[in-house]
Amino acid sequence: MTTAILKDRTTRPSSWWLVLGLVGLDYFSTLAYLPTIMVEAAGPLAPLAAALLVLVTLLLAVPVYWYVVGRSPDGQGAVGLLEQIVHGWRGKLLLLILMGFVAADFVVTRSLSVADASTHVLHNPHWHAAVNHLAPRDDEVQSSVGPQMWRRLKPMWTRQMALTIGLSLLAFAFLWLLQGGFTRNVLRLAALAVGVYMLLAGIVIASALRHLAAHPELLEAWRDQVYDHGGGLAAGRALVWRVLLLVLWAFPQLALAISGFELSMTVAPLVKGRMGDDPRWPRGRIRNTRKLMLAAALVMAVYALGAVLAATILIPAEAIGPGGAAQHRALAYLAHGERLVGDQPGATLNPLFGHEFGSFYDAAAVIVLCLAGASGLIALRDLVPQFLYRLGMEMEWALRFRVMMHVFNAIILMVTVVFHASVSAQQGAYATSVLMLLTGAALAATLDLIERWRGWRLRGLIVAPFAISLAFFLSMAALSMVVNRSGLVIALLFVATILATSSVSRWVRSTELRFKGFTFADEHSERRWQEILQLDFQVLVPHRPGLFPLADKDRQVRRKHRLPPDAYLLFIEVCLGDPSDFHHVPLMKIEREGELEVIRVSHAVSVAHVLAAIGLEFCRVGRPPEIIFGWSHETPLAANLNFLLFGKGNIPWMVKALVRKAECNSQRRPRIVVG
């Protein structure tokens, strides 16, 4: 992949409040289904669960994200910070797992959000004619396809799934536009859609809260339900602990209240900083991105608390429960003026409420839900290809033909079919991916603080809050996986696919030179390198550092190969950097050790590739050199695995293969001598 393809393709930065609309597509859209999920998971305790989620967001998630975006302000987020801290294959595997959950998060976000959008469409009485056209009834489908085909389709066919697939195909058009960059017009469209949606949702929530304030008996009845749910006879501190334990047990299902916030760091490059920002540490952009995060968390805190409280107290249990008219559309239920608790008419909340106002709310909710997934798309577009490129996968063809997005669109449709377009069936998978990404951010912050404050006495006090966040999110993620394994399965399928394809690609491309040129430790090394290249004949001798003294190596080579004392030998020592990377730009330093001259190369991913690159550099300016190797006692299998994984096995044979592929003219290749 060329450097141009790997460049950040975001557009001109914009004000943070405009980018907030893009985050809101993912974060604020959860208000459409969040109250139902909380009531189903916590019952009458749902408002208390919402309060706990607000505390978790403000006291745990926001500080972690503030720190991470300050250390990784280029949109790489936790992935970029972890890559700086954890190196080698261990780091690659950790990042690969995190990438798997990023992909799972995006896929389930799209599938679940569009499924909920179809729920709003199906329950709107003004849209029945359009629904019947897009998603015909069962008897119409049976008459169209025939009884035999219908028997095969019936187990997976629902009107909601048909409508969800149709809305997904329409939403793909918007995602296609986003691949070209987040232009100012795209950001304005997102801000407009989110602004209208939040305005209508705010009217519904404010009307409901005003009604509750005017009818304190409703709050008293809810308080009695909390006491009954908490144990009835328990009181005081015992009741508080019992309620807290019940809420914590339900927390993994409630984590969807934070969904959309977990990828907010990816929008950092879209946020405008200040004039004169240092590109390596843009303080203005960091500060404005933090403003965006705090504003999003505070707005969601107010809306989530109000929406859950209103849905818990005002909507009848049979309506908000499974199969009810308010399931996964609680605010829409209130906006349509449906019956409330005590069989009161919904118009008592607000005279505006009815099917006309409800249709406006439904339209806004459907648009926002169909556009959800923007933050995930940024992560997939900017993080995954660069990571795969470093892992050894050739991604230029995929980016050129938009293959990656076509594949993800197909996976989204498959997930929709597998889960029958059910919001309830997908919420476990969604919660798992959200919690794992929060865990990854907390892990990155904790490890980075441990490294930065190493040796300081107060390190424990500084790291403790982030370590607590890490322990909490990790335990909740583990609990979520125990309750529902679908999110883990989806993420592991992505991990296995990436690992398999990148391993095959790395093996197929193992004989590529993957060399981007040398950098030099000092001016003397660069000048001396140019002088050495002009020598008439060179004998290059690879030397393993620390095995035995260089002078002994010199005497041994001259004796075994019968070289005269005045023959010029140039020794090469290669120190590996991170062999899990695929491409490299080695650092060269040329030094003298007594009468001998040695080239010391560091930051390499493979010894064989460095030696081949040095030999080929000599070939391009003068007479091809001779490279003298000693025999290796490795078995062929161990040598090949050491080369592929650790960059240091099967060296003579791989140098020969590399120069043969890089130089077509056999007369211009370095001469490889093994003995």
CATH class of 519-674: alpha beta
Of these ranges, 77-81, 106-110, 210-214, 244-248, the one predicted with the greatest mean pLDDT is: 210-214
Q: Distance (Å, rounded) from C-alpha 30 to C-alpha 331?
A: 11
Token pair recorded at residue 7: 């460049």
pLDDT value at residue 154 = 64
How far is residue 320's CA from residue 607's CA, in Å, rounded to a whole number? 64
Q: Which residue has the higher pLDDT, 207 or 585?
A: 207
For CATH 3.40.50, the residue range(s) in the chain are 519-674
| Neighbour-count burial of 470, counting CB atoms closer than 10 A to its CB (0-12 exposed, 13-18 middle, 19+ buried) | buried
Tell me, what's the pLDDT at 396?
61
Question: Which has more confidence, 99 or 180?
Answer: 99
Q: Which of 111-120, 130-139, 355-364, 469-478 has the lowest mean pLDDT?
A: 130-139
| Overall average pLDDT of the 647-674 stretch | 79
Task: Grade residue 465 by pLDDT with cuts at 50, 70 and 90.
Answer: very high
- Helix (H) or strand (E) run with residue 597 in it: strand 596-604
The average pLDDT across 316-330 equals 90
Is the pLDDT at 242 greater than 70? The verdict is no
As annotated, the residues of the chain forming the CATH 1.20.1740.10 domain(s) are 3-507
d(CA 121, CA 526): 68
Q: Read off the pLDDT of residues 553-579 as tens digits, 9 standing for 90 and up.
A: 888 888 888 888 777 888 888 888 888
Provide the pLDDT for residue 392: 66
- State the pairing for strand pair 596-604/587-593: antiparallel
What integer pLDDT is reported at residue 364 of this predicted model? Answer: 95
Interhelix angle 184-214/216-230, nearest 10 degrees: 90
Backbone Cα Rg of the chain: 31
What is d(CA 38, CA 253) in angstroms, rounded to the nearest whole number? 8
At 52-71, the pLDDT tens digits run 889 999 999 999 999 999 99
Where residue 8 falls among pLDDT bands split at 50, 70, 90?
Answer: very low
Least reliable range by pLDDT among 90-99, 314-323, 594-603, 666-675: 666-675
In this predicted model, which residue has the larger pLDDT, 624 or 61? 61
In whole angstroms, give the CA distance from residue 36 to residue 112. 14
Which pLDDT value is given to residue 511? 75
pLDDT at 462 over 60: yes
The highest-confidence range among 18-27, 450-459, 479-488, by mean pLDDT, is 18-27
The superfamily (CATH) of domain 3-507 is Amino acid/polyamine transporter I (1.20.1740.10)
Across residues 230-258, what is the average pLDDT?
A: 67
What's the order of all strands across the beta sheet hosting 539-542? Answer: 519-520, 587-593, 596-604, 569-576, 539-542, 626-629, 671-674
Q: Is the pLDDT of residue 139 over 70?
A: no
Q: What is the pLDDT of residue 88?
A: 80
pLDDT for res 4 = 40
The yes-or-no verdict on residue 311 having pLDDT over 60 is yes
pTM value?
A: 0.83
Q: How far apart are CA 349 and CA 333, in angstroms?
A: 12
Q: Using alpha carbons, select from 614, 620, 601, 610 the residue that is nearest to residue 651.
A: 610
Min mean pLDDT across 202-206, 401-405, 623-627 is at 401-405
What per-residue confidence (pLDDT) applies to 137? 65
Of 300-309, 324-333, 554-563, the least confident: 554-563
pLDDT digits 0-9 by tens, 515-557: 778 889 999 888 988 888 887 777 888 888 777 788 888 888 8
**Helices 216-230 and 236-254 meet at what angle, rounded to 10?**
90
Mean pLDDT of the chain: 82
Lowest mean pLDDT among 21-30, 157-166, 490-499: 157-166
